Amino acid sequence: MAESRYQVMDFLQRHRDQIIEKVKWTGPIVEAAVSQHLIPEELMHEVQRTVSTQEVMRMVFTALESEPPQQRDAFYQILKQMEPALIQELENREAEHRQEEMESDVGLSYGKTKKVEEKMPKLQAETQRRKDTLKRRRLETLRAIEDIEKLWEGTSREMSEMEQMRKRHKDSNGYGGKDED
């Protein structure tokens, strides 16, 4: 594990519960933490009265929460020395989890690309079908407009002819302004 301060802090925070649960020998850890002034000496006296290893580790973690990052770095090193199997197990799990996430991300991106590639011919066919439908409708619309224009021309011509016939009829019946005696 790359051991930057922030990574150590995050590691301890993420695995706090597992560390509290699985640490076997709290005595040497607490003694090392007190000797390096990571936690107050008064805590040592409280720890000696505490029976549960989990409770001891909770007290240590609680005491470290208010300490600067350097103190947590040192505590992490103590844990690595005193509980190497536990810390290695947690680091391995974390590395595996990161690897799985990366593979999952790559798989998802590959899967998405694959799905898009599989859908592409269908999408292209659908797009072409829609284009063809639009062209057909456009041609039908243009034909309908031409038909309407022809009908309008025919109607206009018929109306003009009817008007001329009325006019001739008026003229022939004497409605042209002459008086009939």
- How confident is the model over 115-144, as pLDDT tens digits? 767 778 888 888 888 888 888 888 888 888
- The domain defined by 5-82 folds into Death Domain, Fas (1.10.533)
- How confident is the model over 160-178, as pLDDT tens digits? 999 999 999 998 886 555 5
For the chain, give every domain's residue range: 5-82
What percent of the chain has a predicted confidence (pLDDT) above 70? Answer: 86
Written as six digits, the tokens of 12 are 């301890």
Place of tokens 């999408």: 123
Q: How far, CA to CA in Å, does 156 sit from each of 21, 24, 149, 160?
A: 98, 106, 10, 6
At 81 the pLDDT is 94
Place of tokens 């066919």: 125
Eight-state DSSP code of residue 37? T
Cα Rg, the chain, nearest whole Å:
46
CB contact at 8 A, 12 and 76: yes
Q: How many helices (H) and strands (E) does the chain have?
A: 7, 0
**HEC-encoded secondary structure of 44-78:** HHHHHHCCCHHHHHHHHHHHHHCCCHHHHHHHHHH
